[in-house]
Amino acid sequence: MAHIKLLNEELPGIVGLLNYRPETARPLLDLAETLLRGPSSLTSGEREIIAASVSYWNKCHFCHTSHAAAAAAHLGSDIGLIDDIKAGLPNTPVSDKLRALLHIAHQVQRNGKNVTDEDISFARDLGATDQELHDTVLIAAAFCMYNRYVDGLGTWAPGPNEAYTAMGERMAHVGYGKN
């Protein structure tokens, strides 16, 4: 049971909140769509991995599992990617640049000031551009919002990974705020 009376209590996680307050839902959805599916030199799969990792570090089960499922849908991986993201991607072939960006995202997750000049130059040496650095910081920051929104209002979330497969497909291939 969420902390407030939602209009439709069957809708999980952020979905029930977006339905409750359309005035704030629109910009929240537009931001996710731009960050995760808009034009970028980072693939949507890579950006969803950043979103899912930050959500895991913030212990937000709904955001972590749904965005990891979206990453799997983009990358054509099986649903095992969800647990591999939890473990720090030991079994997924990702670039060293993405690993450096994930480190920056982890710093942002703790506090923006934790990002050091060394973190930035390390990512640059592996090919990260200004816009990729910008988008990584903003994706990490944005999920520090979405995660707190979802958990701070006590929304419910389906448990098992399999319950997120169809949701991940829709997030990846239809998008955010699209019907």
Q: In 3D, which of 44, 34, 94 has the Cα closest to residue 71?
A: 44
In single-letter form, the type of residue at position 165 comes to T
Site for another protein in 111-150 (CB under 8 A): 111-113, 115, 117, 120, 130-131, 133-135, 137-138, 140-142, 144-150
Question: How many helices, marked H, and strands, marked E, lie in the chain?
Answer: 9, 0
171 contacts 69 by C-beta, under 8 angstroms: yes
Give the three-state DSSP class for 36.
Answer: helix
List the one residue from 80, 127, 152, 159 that touches another protein (CB under 8 A). Answer: 152
47 contacts 33 by C-beta, under 8 angstroms: no
143 contacts 63 by C-beta, under 8 angstroms: yes
| 18 binds another protein, rule: CB under 8 A | no
List the one residue from 15, 17, 36, 82 that touches another protein (CB under 8 A). Answer: 17
List the one residue from 5, 8, 90, 93 that touches another protein (CB under 8 A). Answer: 5
Query: Under the rule (CB under 8 A), what is the footprint of another protein?
Result: 3-5, 17, 20-21, 23-24, 26-28, 30-31, 34-35, 38, 58-60, 104, 107-108, 111-113, 115, 117, 120, 130-131, 133-135, 137-138, 140-142, 144-154
